Structure 1
């Protein structure tokens, strides 16, 4: 499949938009009419052709624009990529996993030639070709983690497993949903997730950690997470809050369909072979309410999920200021019929 890459922006003039095909493949995370945190993990096995689950790492029409947006963020704040010294082996693990996956799944766009430890990487959409020696960081323009994650959509956290838990000891994070890598790097699994309401009382993170600690190489897992954002902005970090925080006050009944976006994260976890670390991939998808409601069943489901969202979750996700406006606007798509389980588009 040859992708047509869109020319668009995730900041300033916000020219981002989804094609009809991108809307139909959007990973709506609501199989029921209500939502609560759960350990919603499943094996990350190949899904239907054309779906976001078809390949290990999803590349879509927004690829070039997202890579350019990442480069802008890194130029402003190089600290969005960080790695503790003991993580270098896991960095090379990550580079190998991403390069081999992209070259195998998208051969029209990426190529990897290997002759022992002498590798040649080609990225056609970004116009890159790099000869390097695997294991020798001096032969790359950046460290192995930064080099390859500049060329993949989504954020990446590399976890070190020790002391009976997981530590976020390396990461590339430029499209996060209001959390700070500078603050979180080096934290344990429970420390990193401490701000999440309700889930700790339910034991969600205890069960999730136990599950992940047993993750085996070659058997990755995945789950969906979600929040919402005003305007299709990828970089909603605390560091840039002055640039986007006031947007929450700009939502009106007239613009809510265009401005308010569902932000879904396809989170995948891979055991790394040499380091025994874990790659946590956080692939972000954005779609406006207006785009999502081109699928009427989705509009009705969104109306019910957001209308019944527990107040602590709405507060944690930063939705309270505009949530009533969004729910009222979505009501026009809900005729009260039984939607049944699942999220397939119509």
Structure 2
């Protein structure tokens, strides 16, 4: 991408900030200008431990990052309960907002953020990285082929990992005052996004939580699942959690084809990402195997998926900065649809697994 890089600030030194700051150093069109924490010592330690250049401004408050005149866009990796306050503050400083997922505790809070971004003419994007991977674009090409894949019929998505005793006691994702959505907001966000992605972001008609939601003693969700139904009969299910061995599976079923991958959130390898795709499969003679076999695909990349995310965000920001374009509505719309389904799952859980109509 031609021209000067877009200068980023980061507010908060969460673990994910390490990954995104590295992405900013790898993305050709981005540069990190400032990092801020509520503690100057923590911010300085983050800068040293992550090898940030001396030119990066290090601050002991979030406000100083927002007030830094070199900063054009801000990455916000703070706990979900703090998103409205700080994402709105970023937008009101006329700086573009890259917001970690889940974007908010509910869609009403997200709407406050999106309204602030729209009224201040700044770009919004959430931090869901895998949708920017070149593999994701390749898979969508296959799913869009009516001959090879046919009509979409069902999707199943799993994302879970097993937190240790210290994590399950102390991590912000298990604290009701910090990330009250728990596993639903953390791993469930990715599952729901994958289901919507496969459905070209068409919202389901109804969402029904599955029996067996597991809560910690503070009432935060540690594992849950849900089913979804569309007007035309398509269905989807997902399971998410913080209590089982690492799994990141998506299976997409069509009338003619099936797509499957085992590492949709974070690829097994940074520079190559596999998936399998079968089309018009059947039994071999005497049912001794499959014919034809599913094909194996590997998409090689030059950059990690988080750097592609940063590059896409920069592209949109530069369009506003250089051409006077309005902020692109694609990613805010996708974020809002994901949040709507999150809200529906939560409502269904709260109502004893009743079906919830999804209203945009």
Q: Name the structure, 1 or 2, with higher relative contact order (CA <8 Å, separation 6+).
A: 1
Q: TM-score range by the shorter chain?
A: under 0.3
- What TM-score, normalized by structure 2, do the two folds share? 0.23
- What TM-score, normalized by structure 1, do the two folds share? 0.24
Bigger Cα Rg: 2
